[in-house]
Amino acid sequence: MERRFQRIPLEFPATLLTDGGGCPVRVEDISLRGVLLEAADLPAMADGDEVSVDIPLSDEARITFEGRVRWHEGLWVGVEIEAMPLESASHLRRLVELNLGDEALLEREFAALIASH
């Protein structure tokens, strides 16, 4: 399956929130569509479970979103973004924009994201 969204390597600390509580994780990479997380001790979860992710970028900025587990294996979990506050979406867009360095590519990704919903 071809990826429609560029993945941005991050390595930020974050929190994965499940029905069982919070779990510290590390963001491996992020795109406009989802995030790859790594954790030493992931809680029990199944593909399709609803989760929340909180990624503090600085004291003032953070990316938070509601998502769904798409897959998990060992230390890794892939989460698809389903809902995100506007402020978080702005931070994510800026992060992707800074890392892609290509505004035309960014606009194509946003068009694909909008078309997929």
Q: Which of 54, 61, 60 is nearest to 30 (CA)?
A: 54
Using alpha carbons, list the distances in angstroms from residue 17 to 1, 101, 110, 116: 28, 31, 26, 25
End-to-end CA distance of the chain: 19
Q: Please write the tens of the pLDDT for every residue from 69-117.
A: 999 999 999 999 999 999 999 898 888 877 777 667 667 766 766 666 5
Cα distance between residue 34 and residue 65, in whole Å: 10
Q: Tell me the three state secondary structure of residue 1.
A: coil
Give me the amino acid identity at 81: I
**Domain spans of the chain, in order of start:** 8-115
Q: So what's the pLDDT on residue 11?
A: 81
Instruction: Among 1.10.3720.10, 3.40.50.720, 1.10.4080.10, 2.40.10.220, name the CATH number for the domain at 8-115.
Output: 2.40.10.220
| Average pLDDT for 7-36 | 90
**Cβ contact 62:55 at 8 Å:** yes
Q: Which of 63, 56, 60 is nearest to 34 (CA)?
A: 63
